[in-house]
Amino acid sequence: MTVLILLPVGSRYETKDIGGLSHFIEHMMFKGTEKRPTSLDISKELDGIGAEFNAFTSKDYTGYYIKSSADKVELAFDILSDMLFHSKIDEAELNKERGVIVEEINMYEDNPLMYIESLFEELIFGDHPLGWQIAGTRDVIKTVPREKMMKYFEHYYQSANMIIAVAGNIKETQVKKLANNYFGRLGKRDFKKFSDFKETQADSRVVVSFKETEQVQLCLGFPGVSYFDKEIYALQILSIILGGNMSSRLFVNIREKYGLCYFIRASAEIFHDAGTFVVHAGLDKSRIQDAIKLIIKELKDVRDAGVTEKELQSAKDFLKGKVDLRLEDSESLADWFGKQELFYGKLLTPEEKLERFMKVTTKDILDVAKKIIDPKKFNLALIGPFKDKKEFEDILKLET
């Protein structure tokens, strides 16, 4: 059984002077309440029932969950509501956590496999909240006053803004009763609108971050689509065909045929009003130019010629199998329905959602490939032992 609380607030709701507050608040929710004064009191109570518990912050939302046996559902509601409504956000604990988050930022930036995605999104979105790091900057984390955190927290952390998703061997009547008992204090549903992103890219872009590594981390891609774009289904299937599994075009041709990488994948990242479509790979630094040219060739081929019926059917079968496996787990099931309510305000069953994917045609794939894979909108981010980005700009000009 999983109880998941989602709040439609993330790092894109922030301004520069409070960048990272959504993530900072997530940390502080585990630092103690009046009823459970320390983080140890919270963790010991949950460990005592063998529960899994965690939280996450994205650019569009924040979530908290407890996964336990179904007979502990009331305790899960009690602890989550206690944390979200009664956390002390103690000044001394807050100041200690500043160092923890700075070290989290250091860890993230020291890991090219993780940090390359931030560099790529900064390249796509620029100096817009979608282009900022979720954890914020060291300067803000070290200095942001508690008063600003409390104002932000009290504005967004109202139960009227919360979505409660429960999955498992639980009756609906019991869930409704618990939700009313523990989250019935509605408060205000008063959201500050986030800043919309307007995509205006007209030329290719390159960013290179120098680091003495043996393997080069690369992200190569384009502006994508939003949660509300009708082409979302075709683009996600295209990502599977290009780089979603070990029989995908990129995996077979870049890794298996030429041995240029250890891993390579294609994916569509989706937000309220924007998105990205990206190829991410860890590549042999001595043959990086060859790898970039081959990746671009695969992208151009699918843009110009589309995909086969056999590839399309295989991708649909793969997707269906992954969904079936994922929804065996209560945590994934809660996440599935919670995020649909969060973004769309309505629920589709897995069968209804899969039906939309099954309707995608080869023409739909070709249309979305022609729309997204635009030579004028190539974005290339690299982390590796390179100090000059000109050679990579020249490759993009030559190949596109």
Q: Which one from 26, 109, 117, 311 is the annotated catalytic residue?
A: 26
Measured CA to CA, the distance from residue 374 to residue 357 in angstroms comes to: 24
Q: Is 328 among the residues known to form the active site?
A: no
Measured CA to CA, the distance from residue 378 to residue 134 in angstroms comes to: 24
Measured CA to CA, the distance from residue 154 to residue 92 in angstroms comes to: 19
Cβ pair 149, 24 in contact under 8 A: yes
Alpha helices in the chain (DSSP H): 21-28, 39-47, 73-86, 91-110, 112-125, 138-143, 146-156, 172-183, 232-243, 249-250, 288-305, 309-326, 330-344, 350-358, 362-372, 390-399
Measured CA to CA, the distance from residue 358 to residue 228 in angstroms comes to: 18
Both ends of the chain: CA-CA distance in Å? 50
**Ramachandran angles phi, psi of 332, nearest 5°:** -65, -35
Rg (Cα) of the chain, in Å, rounded? 23
CA geometry: angle at 136 spanning 188 and 236, to 5°?
80
Active-site residue list: 26
